[in-house]
């Protein structure tokens, strides 16, 4: 496997990470996952822009120009002959003797490599179970930080309970999933949490909201309660690697008749069309 290491593309065996990299010791860094369809990175511009925004928010100066990062990702995809799959990209603040505060002169480390293709067609088709859990994360969930401790704790909990995702609730209101955004359909209106510091503004979320506006579907970017969630007509999650996945049962309560709903099906189709158009254009 070929790995992007700052501006170089190296064999994985040539890559070594220092034990005092602040990403390793503090989770001091930010990341992205970009999907690849037919050899083409989908919404690469949006992902690279979000990477720079996250980095800016933690005052990490990425020493490479955006344009170059995009070109390097394209090269990485080609050199690994990725057809369908995804690229993991992270930047850490770099190596320094371990202490919390840092010298702004340390050199950030950018790493990217392909993740193995994960086939989500079954979950997209059949829908998944979710649990709800209190959102105990910090208050800057808009930053795509490497610090994912609560996200992984609660995802593990969901998996151990036979569920695919944990839907998080802050002060009784749905924020998002442990690694996805959540949409709720009720009476032909689509609800999702507004993009503020309580959620990560997913690229899939952004793309879908644009699509809903174009189609003049009713959207309300407002939080909903757990009661509203459980009484929804349809619920679905979105993320780069999952695209659009129906949620058919939450906390052992069936959503509607417990089958993927027709609105969710329409949205899945519309998303597939969008991907086709974008990778063609």
Q: What 3-state DSSP class applies to 128?
A: strand
- 170 makes contact with ligand PMP (CB under 6 A): no
Spell out, one character per residue from 56 to 95, where the chain touches ligand PMP: x when CB under 6 A holds, - when not.
----------------------------------------
Nearest Cα to Cα of residue 36 among 127, 122, 109, 118: 118
Q: Binding mask 224-243 vs ligand PMP (x if CB under 6 A, - otherwise)?
A: --------------xxx---
- The C-alpha atoms of residue 258 and residue 217 are separated, in whole angstroms, by 23
Question: Which residue, 204 or 268, has its beta carbon nearer to ligand PMP?
Answer: 204
99 among known catalytic residues: no
Q: Which residues, including other chains, have CB under 8 Å from residue 214's CB and lie 6 or more apart?
A: none
Whole-angstrom Cα distance, residue 212 to residue 274? 12
Catalytic residue among 2, 144, 155, 207: 144
Strand pairing report for 165-170 and 189-192: unpaired
Token output for 96: 């320094």
Residue 179 found at the interface with ligand PMP (CB under 6 A): yes
| Smaller CB separation from ligand PMP, 28 or 176 | 176
CB nearer ligand PMP, residue 179 or residue 264: 179
The token duo for 118 is: 């994960």
Residues 6+ away with beta carbon under 8 Å from 217? 188, 190
- Residue 176 binds ligand PMP (CB under 6 A): yes
SS3 track for 50-67 = HHHHHHHHCCCCCCCCHH
Residue (60 or 146) nearer to ligand PMP, CB = 146
Q: Is 181 in the site for ligand PMP (CB under 6 A)?
A: yes
Report the residue from 180, 192, 248, 264 that binds ligand PMP according to the rule CB under 6 A. Answer: 180
Which residue number is nearest to ligand PMP in terms of Cβ? 202
Minimum CB distance to ligand PMP, residue 251 (Å): 20
CA neighbours closer than 13 Å in the CB half-sphere of residue 208: 30
Footprint of ligand PMP (CB under 6 A):
33, 151, 176, 179-181, 200, 202-205, 238-240
Residues with catalytic roles: 144
């Amino acid at each position: 496997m070929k790995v992007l290491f700052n501006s170089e593309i190296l064999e994985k065996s040539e890559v070594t990470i220092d034990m005092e990299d602040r990403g390793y010791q503090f989770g001091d860094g930010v990341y992205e996952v970009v999907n690849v369809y037919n050899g083409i990175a989908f919404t690469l511009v949006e992902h690279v822009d979000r990477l720079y925004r996250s980095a800016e928010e933690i005052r990490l100066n990425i020493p490479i120009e955006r344009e170059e990062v995009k070109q390097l990702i394209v090269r990485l995809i080609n050199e690994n002959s990725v057809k369908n799959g995804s690229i993991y990209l992270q930047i850490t603040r770099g190596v320094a003797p371990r202490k919390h505060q840092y010298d702004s002169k340390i050199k950030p480390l950018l790493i990217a490599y392909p993740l193995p293709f994960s086939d989500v067609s079954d979950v997209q088709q059949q829908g998944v179970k979710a649990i709800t859990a209190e959102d105990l994360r910090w208050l800057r969930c808009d930053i795509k930080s490497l610090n994912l401790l609560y996200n992984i704790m609660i995802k593990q909990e969901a998996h151990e309970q036979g569920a695919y995702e944990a839907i998080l609730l802050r002060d009784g209101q749905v924020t998002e999933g442990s690694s996805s955004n959540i949409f709720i359909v009720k009476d032909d209106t689509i609800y999702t949490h507004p993009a503020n510091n309580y959620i990560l503004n997913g690229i899939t979320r952004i793309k879908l909201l644009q699509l809903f506006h174009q189609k003049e579907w009713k959207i309300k970017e407002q939080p909903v309660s757990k009661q509203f969630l459980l009484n929804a007509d349809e619920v679905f999650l979105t993320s780069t690697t999952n695209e659009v996945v129906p949620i058919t049962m939450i906390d052992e309560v069936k959503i509607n008749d417990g089958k993927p709903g027709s609105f969710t099906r329409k949205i899945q189709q519309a998303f597939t069309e969008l991907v086709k158009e974008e990778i063609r254009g």
